[in-house]
Chains A and B, each alone.
Chain A
C-alpha cells in the first residue's frame, strides 16, 4: 500500500483506534504500540486492504490485538474471562458472544452506548451528544453494561 494512502488512513482513524485501545488496555504506551503495529504492517505491505473495508479492518484489528495482549499478559481480569489454553482465534468468538449477550440482556440505550464505545471508538462526549445525556451518565450506563457482561461471563471477577 502506498505510504500516502496509509498516512491518509492514519490521520483519519488513529484517534478513534487509540480510544478503543485505551478503553481496553488502559495504558497509553501499549495503546500506541498496538495502533502503530497495525499501520506498520500496512506500510510493509504485509496486509492488503480491499477498498471500502479500511475502517472496519482497522477498528476490528485494534480490538483483536488488544484482546490478544490482554490474554497474553493475563490482564483479562479487567474483562470477562474464559478458560485458558483455547485456540488463538477464540477472541473473535468471545467477542461475538459478548455482543450477542449485550443485544439480549442490556437495555437498548446501553447496547448503543456499549457498541459506540467498544466497537466504533466514539468519545464519551460524542456518545453523550448522540444520546442527549451527560458524559457522567454515559460513564454510569457503560459501567452498568460492563458489570452485567462481567457477571455473566466471569462471575468470579466480581
Chain B
C-alpha cells in the first residue's frame, strides 16, 4: 500500500517516530519525496478541461457523500423511497408511450421515437506521452476552447449557430492541427477553416450562401 494513502499512519510516524524502524521511516520519506514525472504532469495541466464545471461537480458530489455519511441510514432510506417512486413513474410513462405508439402505427402512421438522453462527458488519458481527449456529447464551443488552447490558436465564430452542437469525438495531442480540422469538418452543420493563428468557424448554411 502507498504509505500516503494512510494518513493516520503518517501522523503516527510523525508523532511517534520511536515506534517505527529506520526502514519504515525511510520508506515514508521516499514516498513523500518521490520525483514526479514533470512532463506527464505538464501535459495533464495543459489538458485540464472546463475547470469551473468540474470543480462544481466535485463539490456537489463531495457534499452529497458527506451528507450521506453524516446522517446515516435514515437518509439512504429516504433516497431509496424517492428512487422507487421515480422508477414507478418512469415505468408508467413507458407503458403509456408503448400504448400510444401501438395505436398510431395501427392507424397506418409511422412514428419514430429516437430521443435519447446522453450525459456530457469529457476525459483524457495519457499514453506514452500522447494525451488522448475524449469528448462525449460536448458542445462545439467547449471542444474548441480546449483544443484551441492546446494548439495556441484563437477561435473566431462567423456565426454562433453551430456553437451549441454536441459532438462525440476523440483526438490526440500528436495529431496536427490540420488533421484535427479535417476530422471536425467531417461533421455536418459547421465548417472550420484555419488561417494563420485563427480557427474560423461558421455554419454550413452560411458557407453555402457565400459560394
Interface check B74, CB cutoff 8 A: no
Of listed A11, A14, A158, residue having the most chain B CB within 10 A: A14
In the docked arrangement, what's the CA distance between A7 and B2, Å? 29
Which of A32, A135, A143 is in CB contact (< 8 Å) with B41? A32
Interface residues on A, range: 20 to 34
Interface check B94, CB cutoff 8 A: no
Interface residues on B, range: 20 to 34
Interface check B15, CB cutoff 8 A: yes
B7 touching A40 by the CB < 8 A rule?
Answer: no
With A10-B38, A14-B41, A124-B32 in contact, is A28–B4 under 8 Å at CB? yes
With A15-B38, A18-B36 in contact, is A135–B4 under 8 Å at CB? no
The interface bits of chain A over 37-52 (1 if a CB of B lies within 8 angstroms of the residue's CB, else 0) are 0011001000000000
Which of A15, A18, A36 is in CB contact (< 8 Å) with B45? A36
B152 touching A143 by the CB < 8 A rule?
Answer: no
Stretch binding the partner chain, chosen from A19-27, A55-63, A90-98, A101-109: A19-27
Interface check B208, CB cutoff 8 A: no
A31 to chain B minimum Cβ distance, whole angstroms, is 9
Interface check A129, CB cutoff 8 A: no
Which residues in B have their C-beta under 8 angstroms from that of A27?
4, 7
Which of A32, A36, A39, A143 is in CB contact (< 8 Å) with B17? A143
A sample of 14 more A-B contacts (CB under 8 A), given A26-B7, A32-B36, is A7-B42, A10-B41, A10-B42, A14-B38, A14-B42, A19-B32, A22-B4, A23-B32, A27-B4, A40-B51, A124-B33, A139-B17, A139-B25, A139-B29
Query: What residues of chain B have their CB less than 8 Å away from a CB belonging to chain A?
Result: 2, 4, 7, 10-11, 13-15, 17, 22, 25-26, 28-29, 32-33, 35-36, 38, 41-42, 44-46, 48, 51, 149, 152
